[in-house]
Amino acid sequence: MSHKVTLIPGDGIGPEVSAAAREAVDATGVKIEWEVAELNPDIMAKTGQSLPPHVIESLERTGAGLKGPVTTPIAGGYTSVNVALRKRLDLYANVRPVRSLPGLVTRFSDVKIDMVIFRENTEDLYSGLEHEVVRDVVTSLKVITRTASIRIAEAAFSFAHELGRKKVTAIHKANIMKLADGLFLRCCREVAARFPHIEYKELIVDNASMQLVIRPEQFDILLLPNLYGDIVSDLAAGLVGGLGVVPGANLGERHAVFEAVHGSAPDIAGQGIANPTAMMLSAAMMLVHLKEQSAANRLRSAVEGVYAEQRHLTKDVGGKAGTREFTDGVIAALKARVSSI
């Protein structure tokens, strides 16, 4: 079976890590028809849009995208590419698995971290509803709806049920924002009642942040509104080595976009030293979405195998290899796993 996927290489180190991830996916044996949709600051300037029609048209055709980092121009009034994608395609769930990698030394190397963050992706303070009441006085509206809260809670609990996860923790600030975060919590409790076999807990966001850096191994599935989810997902990435080793997915009813959430790092672009780990692990999530679970498992295991051996690691994670060497190491590990089957 062949799958159609939109590949958005991005800019900076984007084309390098995207090419590496594409090679790794192809090495799994899964047949992908890659439809490349270029998107970078030059194209945005030329079209006057942060999300030009050719990108949307491609994603409409394929339903799935693998996206490298894209720089949003600071001047000119361009909206974030990620925000535009989420709104246009209704990608309501941002899913960020955060796992310890074998052999990668961090401050938390002595514990096993394995959590998945479910962040609501479409509303909250990110709705962008701001107003200057009078000069130097601005209001910003926090939008929380039952519809969005229920569906992100359902996504988190369904994921936990399907994968045998044991606990979902809802993160909130309902002690202060009693109406907005109170509604979010009521929706989480309603969905939790349908899954009595899954432990359900609630934590205030400031306490949750402290708990994450004291005892991160206690967390399983985290369920958060948009703003808290944005902050906590980056905090959690720092526990296992940073954004360069953590994948991400933006999921909707009809479309899904998988991405490395780190920046475009223009200062090292073209030097062949970029770390493609996050992009490869995002590609593994894409394979799961395409119902190619075996290939996803093999790709993830191959990446973890390279870290465990510590022979082909890039400089940012303590090695001396470049992008090419890391990619070759992953592909060699994939081929070894195929031959052993």
List the beta bridge partners of residue 6: 35, 65
Q: What count of Cα atoms within 13 Å lies in the side-chain half-sphere of residue 46?
A: 9
* Helix (DSSP H) and strand (DSSP E) numbers for the chain: 11, 12
Query: Alpha helix (H) ranges present in 91-204?
Result: 146-163, 180-192
**In angstroms, how far apart are the furthest CA atoms of the chain?**
69
122 and 87 Cβ atoms separated by less than 8 Å? yes
213 and 202 Cβ atoms separated by less than 8 Å? no
For 98, list phi and psi in degrees, rounded to 5. Answer: -125, 105
Whole-angstrom Cα distance, residue 63 to residue 71? 23
DSSP 8-state class, residue 110: T
Among residues 338, 126, 87, which one has the least CA distance to residue 225?
126
The residues that are catalytic are 126, 173, 206, 230, 234
Among residues 292, 288, 230, which one has the least CA distance to residue 261?
230
Whole-angstrom Cα distance, residue 4 to residue 23? 16
